[in-house]
Structure 1
């Protein structure tokens, strides 16, 4: 009887040990899966220049064991909604002022973890080929989102075409125009469409990324935001993440890669002033 009991006990102990080994194996397997998943960084971006810049950064991240998954967006709303809803780890397409306004309007909690570059706005020729030949009652298209519209109006003011209420500052809209001697018709257009409507307007003030998308170069612009202007210092393009994710190692690695000398060199050589890296 004792032998039978000992045999049963031995079998039970063996089963327990085997179960423990199996359980440990599953846990290890699950842990590896989690680690593998955390190595993939899913980033929403505008096609140009952001997705192109991320492609360069991806090679740097690969050396650190990270895989970059870039999802391209053609507008300024969906990439923030996707990030807020957890469909992305980060996005790279917007400046800080736009991000702040978006959070206020949509009730999101997105934050910047690094400023990467800025894109000067430019005035591009449509039906009119120079600022000096701009006729009375000309039509000028500007971005229809609040922050970029203000930048556009301030750039037009810098060229002596209009005057804007000083108190409006970086929140200026067409309602804040105080002087318009040529009776210019300011048309507010979705930023992504501006380069496409150039044949239908006299001039258009276009964001750097959408100018690139439209095949335009900074050298094509009739006027550009100056590098030391309030607008260029207030509107650096940032990496945005959900509040609480700021210290995730993979996201910090993303910012470091985008601020690397390799990426800065690529930006300077590729975009020739249309995109300017930030130290």
Structure 2
């Protein structure tokens, strides 16, 4: 009996030691390697854009942001009017396509509170033509195409004034309309059209005031424009977000990446005298 009890006790002791060793081994395997670097948390950032050079610039900084823990998705849009509503509705986290007057006009008309974070570049508006190579050749009563959205139509009218073709009422500003024209010596016929369609309108109009991104998308050569908006334009292109996200880490990193020397060099190389970095 004593012999049997001893055998049972020894067996229990062996089993207990085996279980203890197994638990110790599992614990040892589960312990993290203190020498391994911690994996950086990734933050998703969806940015809306439209046309060049905005999309190209975002693609350039995508890998740099990834190194900083920001996974950026670029969402392409086809119309200006879609981007700010998409931002308001939280379909995207930021957008990069517009200038400050356009943003201010949108906020005023929709009771929105979107804010811009950083100025990136300017894209001087230009006057293009397929019929003349100099504004001195512009005929009386000629058709002139301009964008139909309020801020860009006002901008286009200011460009026509700078070109000496019309004169606006003093203080008309960036939201000028045709009603603000006080002098039109050539009796030009101003026609409004969606900004994206203006390159096609050139087939019928004598001249068109076209935003740089749409001119580039249509394959127009900005260096062959018959007039360029003066350099003191207030139309800086900016990154826009919802107010609560203005100081968000990923948004700050996006702004810094777009203001980098690499982007400035890219603009200078690919769009000389067409897109000007801040």
The TM-score with structure 2 as length reference comes to 0.83
- 8 Å CA contact 1:217, 1:274 repeated in 2: no
| Cα distance in structure 1, aligned partners of 2:64 and 2:111 | 34
Q: How many residues align structurally? A: 238
Match status 1:116 vs 2:138: no
| Cα distance in structure 1, aligned partners of 2:253 and 2:202 | 40
**Equivalent in the alignment of 2:17:** none
**Equivalent in the alignment of 1:101:** 105
Asked which structure has the greater CA Rg, the reply is: 2
**Equivalent in the alignment of 2:60:** 56
Root-mean-square deviation (Å): 1.2
**Equivalent in the alignment of 1:45:** 49
Aligned mate of 1:82, from 83, 86, 89: 86
**Equivalent in the alignment of 1:191:** 195
Which is richer in helix?
Answer: 1
| Cα distance in structure 2, aligned partners of 1:129 and 1:87 | 44
Structure 1: gaps of 5 or more residues: 1-34
**Equivalent in the alignment of 1:91:** 95
The TM-score with structure 1 as length reference comes to 0.83
Q: Deviations over 1:61-114 (max 9, x none)?
A: 122122210011121111111110011010000011110110111222210011
**Equivalent in the alignment of 2:251:** 251
**Equivalent in the alignment of 2:272:** 272
Query: Shift of residue 127 of structure 1?
Result: 3.0
- 8 Å CA contact 1:126, 1:204 repeated in 2: no
- 8 Å CA contact 1:97, 1:147 repeated in 2: yes
- 8 Å CA contact 2:51, 2:214 repeated in 1: no
Structure 2: gaps of 5 or more residues: 1-40
Q: Deviations over 1:180-237 (max 9, x none)?
A: 111100111111111121111100001111111111222111110121x2xx2x1101
| Cα distance in structure 2, aligned partners of 1:251 and 1:78 | 21
- 8 Å CA contact 2:162, 2:230 repeated in 1: no
